[in-house]
Amino acid sequence: MSADLTYDVVVLGGGPVGENLAQYAMEDSGLTAVLVERELVGGECSYYACMPSKALLRPIEVASTAAHLGGVSRPHLDVTALLARRDEWVSHYDDASQVDWAEGAGIDVVRGHGRIAGPRTVEVARDGQAPLVLHARHAVVIATGSSPVVPEPYAAAQPWGSRDATGVVEVPERLAIVGGGVVACEAATWMAALGSRVTMLVRGDRLLGSAEPFASDAVLEALRGAGVDVRLGVEVTECRRDDAKDTGLGRVHGGPVRLTISGEAEVVVADELLLATGRRPRLDDVGLETVGLDADALLRHTSSSSDGSRGEVPDWLLAVGDASGEAPLTHWGKYRARVLGQQLAARATGAEPEPEPEEVPVPQVVFTDPQVAWVGLTAAQARERYGEAEVEVVEVPFTGAAGAALLRDDASGTASLVVDRGSRMVVGATFVGPDAGELLHAATIAITGRVPVSVLRHAVPSYPTASELWLRLLEELPRDLRR
């Protein structure tokens, strides 16, 4: 027999985005919310993605920095201790503390796979228990994250996905990576440092296709410098593996993998294959069909669709985070969850929703060595939007400020700003270099706050910090724009 419960808000998926949505919907509103989670509360980010990858990358970056700092000798990576650090950061795949947080915030947690079962209704399939039916007075929110894309011809080879790479237990001697995006570049960095001989097979003609080309070049040079064999413009036509089997998270999944490359006689042979070929919203088993929808219809009308129209999507149904098809980044999903949670609470209580800026830029940091950080428009995107003559692009070497050059003896990289002449405002920024990610938020504030260049000139960076790069960049702008 199934049980029934009623809440104001039912959230499918207890990742960082679902958690934030529930929290903001409840804050000061008196609304009730429940999180339905089929794996671990905290989601992909906490256990299989952001946290373990950055727990691995940080010591690697520190060791690499120390190896290039006069006065520090013989930095050494201890692989066993590094993997133990990762295990600590993923709480040994135990979500007790996240459940405590949710319950402390007044959010109920239900474990099981949730599916929409009709208007404002969710059915939760639970292990060894009768299904639970949840009714939503105000909203059902889909925050189910995303799934990795597994293209043919790889499926039968049981390749590693990003979960295996972040959860690595057995370090394969030879690792092939297919893909040239963020997961591929970050994983190549830590797997090479752990001791794998890494070959990257990249379909495109550069790494990190959404970044400025100079950032792609810097990461390519750094990976090659670290011994990674990066092959650009290659197409894998066949993938074969004997004895492919699921041996568990982060363990080698069978015998050697043989990859045939179009136009090349040599076959790439590796002990493991990591597929890093993108992710798609996880919408295939959430019961959209029970309310006359499919994934395409929902994605056409995500929370930030430009015209704000909801099409055939009913007003009680929302998608947020990776599941919404917006930028698949934790900070972006959490931002949208804060906005939507607050709007939902306002709608339910008759309060005025907080105003939202018309356009909010999406920041991204790639934790390679050097780091790559960007926000807003690239130079090419800005020229397309404003016209060639209306866009001013300035670049300075990362070592152009003493504080940046001091970070490590081999510091290199580039900082750039993209400025719209019409509004005299920064519309994009990219930083490539050591700790570049920490320079990004100033640019995010400048763009979001619509601070004119003439005002930015009066924001004084301390000496000697890497932030003085801002001074160098602004000095590079034509005089008429600075006044």
Ligand X SMILES: Cc1cc2nc3c(=O)[nH]c(=O)nc-3n(C[C@H](O)[C@H](O)[C@H](O)COP(=O)(O)OP(=O)(O)OC[C@H]3O[C@@H](n4cnc5c(N)ncnc54)[C@H](O)[C@@H]3O)c2cc1C
String of contacts with ligand NAD for each residue 202-231, x by CB under 6 A = -xx----x----------------------
Residue 217 beta carbon to ligand X: minimum distance, rounded to whole angstroms: 22
Residue 330 beta carbon to ligand X: minimum distance, rounded to whole angstroms: 4
Residue 189: CB partners within 8 Å, gap ≥ 6?
57, 60, 223, 226, 367, 368, 369
Residue 37 beta carbon to ligand X: minimum distance, rounded to whole angstroms: 5
Residue 44 beta carbon to ligand X: minimum distance, rounded to whole angstroms: 3
Among 183, 219, 299, 405, binds ligand X (CB under 6 A): 183
The verdict on 234 binding ligand NAD (CB under 6 A) reads: no
Nearer to ligand X, 385 or 441 (CB): 441
Q: Which of residues 250-279 bind ligand NAD (CB under 6 A)?
A: 276-279
Contact 115, 125 (CB under 8 A): yes
The verdict on 180 binding ligand NAD (CB under 6 A) reads: yes
Render 321-369 in DSSP notation, one character per residue. Answer: GGGGTS---HHHHHHHHHHHHHHHHHHHHTPPPPP--S--PPEEEE-SS
Residues written for the chain: 483
Which residue stretch of 256-264, 318-326, 426-434, 473-481 sits at the interface with ligand X (rule: CB under 6 A)?
318-326
The verdict on 444 binding ligand X (CB under 6 A) reads: no
Q: Which of 290, 284, 289, 252 is nearest to 271 (CA)?
A: 252
Residue 94: CB partners within 8 Å, gap ≥ 6?
none
Residue 64 beta carbon to ligand X: minimum distance, rounded to whole angstroms: 18
CB atoms within 10 A of CB 39: 17
The verdict on 325 binding ligand NAD (CB under 6 A) reads: no
Residue 441 beta carbon to ligand NAD: minimum distance, rounded to whole angstroms: 14
Render 379-440 in DSSP notation, one character per residue. Answer: HHHHHHHH-GGGEEEEEEEGGGSHHHHTT-TT---EEEEEEETTTTEEEEEEEEETTGGGGH
Question: In 106-234, which residue ranges form alpha helices assigned H by DSSP?
Answer: 162-166, 182-194, 213-225
Alpha carbons 284 and 282: distance in angstroms, whole number: 6
String of contacts with ligand X for each residue 31-50, x by CB under 6 A = -----xxxxx--xxx---xx
Q: Which residues bind ligand NAD (CB under 6 A)?
A: 151, 178-184, 186, 203-204, 209, 276-279, 328-329, 364-367
Q: Which residues bind ligand X (CB under 6 A)?
A: 12-18, 36-40, 43-45, 49-50, 53-54, 113-114, 143-145, 162, 166, 183, 282, 286, 321-323, 328-331, 333
